[in-house]
């Protein structure tokens, strides 16, 4: 994800923080410091409190990711955003049962964290009315105290579990709804039903937020609506693209370039062949991919005499000719690379680009299932 940076790796999963995440830290510091009139101690307390809360968010996402790994899925990263965490899965089988368990463990983790925090309400100094008073007295939740800290963490974890289980796609509850519906109907139909439910919920939440002045609700509603639409489009695209293997429609006349070639030579090839993305081959072996973005960026930063090896993608996915186009789509989404070499028996067969993938989707979505080319 753009504008994010790596902070660590857990279970072979990258932990990343989006630059906008720090806005929520600053906001919490402002609320406890200025809003609740507690000065610098309040600002520090607010920042620490919201940081601890996002540790729980990481645990929530790790539970999703570990379950995905258990089912054979690959998880590239977890990114922290101001609105929560996002797990980037490289692949995951479209199995309703597996999706159910992979989804439900996230909210369950928040419930477990909340339950584990309950005893601490009795262990910390009872400043206001014991454990019950911690939730009925606003001064406890908004003040600076150990009891307030535990109370806030407990309350928010339970609220996170409840909110995530709302049947609004792409929230966890929406995914659970899709997994249940997919046992009785097609995956695409189940996705459409879950998307519609999520967008109706987002519309109601947004209108309520506008009428009551709860602008945070409006922002959340926009994210839910857009997320549902994006997820629905992605699910439909995967289903359509799964009808065709890469070998049936690969661009098998792709020109290759050498690592030692200059960028000016590649420009000449582009002008004559109108090809924008190139496999980089050295001694018959694919050693990289030179995309249009690599070429333009290299020309700008290094000049026309720079070599292909200096600007090419050295870490890149490949796809077998027998794979479905849906697999190419997933690889492009997870890696961000928009041109992937196609191999057959370890030999380069051609290239699949994002433009070609989009063209295949448009053609397949306009035809009957039986109208697919023969390999």
Angle between helices 39-70 and 96-117 (to 10 degrees): 150
Q: Are residues 150 and 120 in contact, defined by beta-carbon separation less than 8 angstroms?
A: yes
* Mean per-residue pLDDT, 247-256: 77
pLDDT at residue 48 tops 90:
yes
The first and second tokens of residue 330, run together, are 């997933």
Beta bridge partners of 319: 342
pLDDT per residue over 275-289, tens digit each? 788 889 888 788 888
Q: Is 2 exposed, middle or buried (0-12, 13-18, 19+ CB in 10 A)?
A: exposed
Closest by CA to 42, choosing from 131, 156, 160, 141, is 141
pTM: 0.71
CATH of the domain at 269: 3.10.580.10
- DSSP string over 306-350: SBHHHHSBSS---EETTSBHHHHHHHHHHH--SEEEEEETTEEEE
Q: Is 155 exposed, middle or buried (0-12, 13-18, 19+ CB in 10 A)?
A: middle
Looking at the fold, whether 118 and 251 belong to one and the same domain comes out as: no
Final residue of a structural domain among 109, 136, 165: 165
Tell me whether residue 269 is in a domain: yes
pLDDT per residue over 97-126, tens digit each? 888 999 999 999 999 999 998 888 777 665
Domain that holds residue 42: 1-165
Confidence class of residue 374 from pLDDT cuts 50, 70 and 90? very low
Tell me whether residue 182 is in a domain: yes
Looking at the fold, whether 87 and 112 belong to one and the same domain comes out as: yes
Tell me whether residue 86 is in a domain: yes
Q: What is the mean pLDDT of the chain?
A: 83
Q: Are residues 87 and 78 in contact, defined by beta-carbon separation less than 8 angstroms?
A: yes
Based on C-alpha coordinates, what's the Rg of the chain? Answer: 25
pLDDT per residue over 73-99, tens digit each? 878 788 887 767 777 776 666 688 888
Place of tokens 């995905």: 68
Looking at the fold, whether 38 and 151 belong to one and the same domain comes out as: yes
Tell me whether residue 375 is in a domain: no
Specify the DSSP class assigned to residue 118: T
- The residue ranking higher by pLDDT, 341 or 84, is 341
Q: Which residues contact 65 (CB under 8 A, 6 or more apart)?
A: 11, 13, 75, 78, 87, 89
Tell me whether residue 184 is in a domain: yes
Give how many domains the chain has, as a whole number.
3
Final residue of a structural domain among 105, 139, 165: 165
Q: Are residues 168 and 133 in contact, defined by beta-carbon separation less than 8 angstroms?
A: no
Looking at the fold, whether 11 and 140 belong to one and the same domain comes out as: yes
Final residue of a structural domain among 223, 241, 259: 241
Tell me whether residue 347 is in a domain: yes
Confidence class of residue 375 from pLDDT cuts 50, 70 and 90? very low
Looking at the fold, whether 63 and 205 belong to one and the same domain comes out as: no
The end-to-end CA distance of the chain, in Å, is 36
Query: How does 48-78 read in b/e, with b if 16+ C-beta sit within 10 Å?
Result: ebbeebbebbebbbbbbbebbbeeebbbbbb
Maximal CA-CA distance, the chain: 80
Tell me whether residue 231 is in a domain: yes
pLDDT at residue 313 tops 70:
yes
Looking at the fold, whether 7 and 106 belong to one and the same domain comes out as: yes
Looking at the fold, whether 289 and 185 belong to one and the same domain comes out as: no
Looking at the fold, whether 152 and 199 belong to one and the same domain comes out as: no
Quote the CA–CA distance of 60 and 101 in Å, as a whole number: 13
């Amino acid at each position: 994800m753009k504008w994010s940076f790596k902070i660590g790796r857990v279970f072979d999963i990258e932990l990343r923080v989006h630059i906008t995440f720090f806005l929520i830290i600053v906001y919490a510091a402002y609320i406890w410091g200025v809003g609740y009139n507690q000065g610098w101690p309040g600002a520090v307390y607010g920042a620490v409190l919201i940081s601890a809360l996002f540790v729980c968010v990481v645990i929530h996402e790790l539970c999703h990711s570990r379950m995905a790994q258990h089912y054979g899925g690959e998880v590239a990263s977890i990114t922290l955003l101001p609105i929560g965490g996002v797990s980037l899965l490289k692949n995951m089988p479209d199995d309703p049962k597996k999706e159910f368990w992979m989804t439900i463990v996230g909210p369950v983790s928040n419930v477990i964290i909340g339950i584990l925090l309950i005893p601490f309400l009795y262990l910390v100094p009872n400043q206001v009315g014991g454990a019950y008073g911690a939730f009925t007295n606003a001064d406890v939740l908004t003040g600076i105290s150990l009891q307030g800290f535990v109370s806030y963490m407990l309350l928010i974890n339970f609220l996170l579990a409840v909110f995530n289980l709302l049947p609004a796609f792409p929230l966890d509850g929406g995914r659970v709804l899709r997994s249940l519906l997919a046992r009785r109907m097609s995956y695409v139909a189940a996705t459409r039903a879950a998307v519609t439910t999520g967008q109706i919920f987002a519309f109601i939440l947004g209108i309520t937020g506008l009428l009551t002045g709860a602008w945070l609700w409006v922002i959340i509603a926009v994210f839910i609506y857009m997320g549902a639409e994006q997820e629905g489009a992605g699910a439909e695209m995967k289903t359509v693209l799964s009808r065709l293997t890469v070998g049936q429609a690969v661009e098998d006349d792709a020109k290759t370039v050498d690592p030692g070639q200059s960028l000016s030579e590649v420009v000449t090839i582009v002008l004559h062949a109108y090809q924008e993305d190139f496999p980089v081959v050295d001694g018959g072996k694919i050693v990289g991919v030179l995309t249009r973005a690599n070429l333009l960026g290299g020309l700008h930063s290094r000049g026309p005499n720079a070599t292909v090896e200096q600007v090419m993608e050295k870490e890149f996915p490949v796809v077998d000719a027998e794979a479905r186009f849906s697999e190419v789509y997933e690889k492009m989404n997870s890696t961000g690379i928009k041109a992937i070499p196609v191999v057959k028996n370890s030999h380069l067969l051609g290239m699949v680009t994002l433009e070609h993938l989009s063209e295949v989707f448009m053609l397949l979505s306009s035809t009957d299932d039986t109208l697919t080319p023969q390999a």
